[in-house]
């Protein structure tokens, strides 16, 4: 019983962290791009349309090169990462939405996955 409660507590915390992260992340993407690199580890790699961008300087340049945006989040799912797969309190966050970038008269769909450590 205690194990079930511990997992439920961990899952609830992960959901709160995920919502907080997503709110901060998309606020930065849409309005404060110069702050985005603070949300990534020094050795982070971002994969965008199959192209990898690694390191703080490259990420900063990449974010600044993107056109202005106002993302619309449609779905959010989070799962705590536990056991042998994590030594930290980590949460896997999956989300999808729409980008304001228009391709062939329709808004581009987005799907993103992040592993966040709290």
C-alpha 25/C-alpha 110 separation (Å) is 14
What is the token pair recorded at 115?
A: 């592993």
pLDDT at 50: 85
Q: Are 67 and 83 contacting, i.e. CB atoms less than 8 angstroms apart?
A: no
Number of separate domains in the chain: 1
Domain extent, residue 44, equals 2-117
Q: Which of 60, 68, 62 is nearest to 36 (CA)?
A: 60
Q: What is the largest CA-CA distance in the chain?
A: 54
pLDDT at 6: 77
Q: Which of 40, 36, 47 is nearest to 71 (CA)?
A: 36
pLDDT at 76: 85
pLDDT at 105: 54
Q: Each residue of 51-71: pLDDT tens digit?
A: 899 999 999 999 988 888 788
Q: CATH no. for residue 99?
A: 3.10.450.50
From 58-62, 101-105, 112-116, the region with the lowest mean pLDDT:
101-105
Residue 117 has pLDDT above 70, yes or no: yes
Q: Each residue of 13-64: pLDDT tens digit?
A: 888 888 898 899 889 888 888 899 998 888 889 888 788 999 999 999 999 8
Radius of gyration of the chain from Cα atoms?
A: 16
Q: Are 90 and 81 contacting, i.e. CB atoms less than 8 angstroms apart?
A: yes
> Measured on CA atoms in the order 26, 32, 38, 43, is the torsion positive or negative?
positive
């Amino acid at each position: 019983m205690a194990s079930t409660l511990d997992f439920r507590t961990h899952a609830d915390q992960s959901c709160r962290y995920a919502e907080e992260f997503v709110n901060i992340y998309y606020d930065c993407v849409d309005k404060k791009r110069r702050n985005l690199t603070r949300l990534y580890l020094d050795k982070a790699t971002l994969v965008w349309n199959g192209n990898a961008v690694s390191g703080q300087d490259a990420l900063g340049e990449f974010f600044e090169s993107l056109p202005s945006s106002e993302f619309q989040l449609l779905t959010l799912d989070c799962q705590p990462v536990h056991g042998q797969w994590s030594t930290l309190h980590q949460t896997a966050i999956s989300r999808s939405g729409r980008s304001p970038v228009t391709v062939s008269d329709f808004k581009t769909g987005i799907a993103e996955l992040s592993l966040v450590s709290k």
